[in-house]
Structure 1
Amino acid sequence: MTNRSRVLPRAVLLAAFICGGLAAVHPAQAQVSVNIAIGVPPPAPIYEAVPAPRPGYVWAPGYWDWDDHHHKHAWKQGRWERERAGYVYESPRWVQSRDGWVLVPGRWDDHGGKGKGPKGYHCPPGHAKKGEC
């Protein structure tokens, strides 16, 4: 038996073990977060007109994402997000780390369960700078 024929069964067993272990994980625990640092800072944001308010929704402004296939930044247009009572939407943002630029994904934050403002009201992203809140 050659070294290669001995390694193959081990690789198959290892793959089966890993796949079997992942299948047994509860869906809520199967979350994976990967941060990739790149050496290229994002370009300046593209101006997007903020649409008129839409009841029950929060405007999530556009942002630069990283297109790994083309090795460049790609603009993701703004979109409506369904409002979540007691939470504030935080837009994705780029931060500079010691390894390069890292995209911090957008998220809903409950500010430690405190919400923000009366009855969970919050100023939609981009509106405060314009003095609309």
Structure 2
Amino acid sequence: MKPLATLRFALLAPLALVAFVSTPAFAQTEIIIQQAPPPQRVEMIPAERPGYAWDRGHWRWEGRGYAWVPGHWQPVMRNARWEPGHWEAHGPNWYWREGHWNR
């Protein structure tokens, strides 16, 4: 291998690795629609479960309409608070914000 090619590889390989590692694992396709979700359903929250946080049910867009996703238990992340997913209105559009842990 030529010295210049070796130097290029030595400089570019770490940059490529950093770019790959710094990509968020939770990245997903953004959902934007113009049809408001139905009213939130009332769910009975089960008795508290140690080591878990309740993730309430929500409406998921299925391409042609909404489908209800029932609530479920989410394993707790230490020193963090669960922020449930929700729909946000911006003008005529509705955006889905995925649930996540806040530290």
Structures share fold, TM-score greater than 0.5: yes
Alignment of 1:1-133 (within 5 A): 26=20, 29=23, 31=25, 32-68=27-63, 71-98=64-91, 100-110=93-103
Q: Identical aligned pairs, as a percentage? A: 28
Structure 1's consecutive aligned runs of 4 or more residues displaced over 6 angstroms after TM superposition are none
Give aligned pairs, total.
85
Give the structure-1-normalised TM-score. Answer: 0.57
SS in 2 for 1:51: coil
RMSD: 1.9
Q: Deviations over 1:39-87 (max 9, x none)?
A: 110101111100000110111110011102xx10111110000111111
Q: CA 1:82 to 1:26, structure 2 compared with 1: closer, same or farther past 3 Å?
A: same
Aligned-partner residue type, residue 84 of structure 1: M
More strand by share: 2
Q: Which has the higher helix share?
A: 1
CA distance in 2, matches of 1:65, 1:75: 6
* 1:77/1:27 CA distance change after superposition, 3 Å: farther
SS of structure 2 residue aligned to 1:84:
coil
SS at match of 1:42: coil
Q: Provide the secondary structure at the position in 2 that maps to 1:26.
A: helix
Q: Show structure 1 runs of 5+ residues with no match.
A: 1-23, 111-133
Change (3 A) 1:99 1:91: same
Deviations 1:88-124 (A, max 9, x none): 00111111113500111111011xxxxxxxxxxxxxx
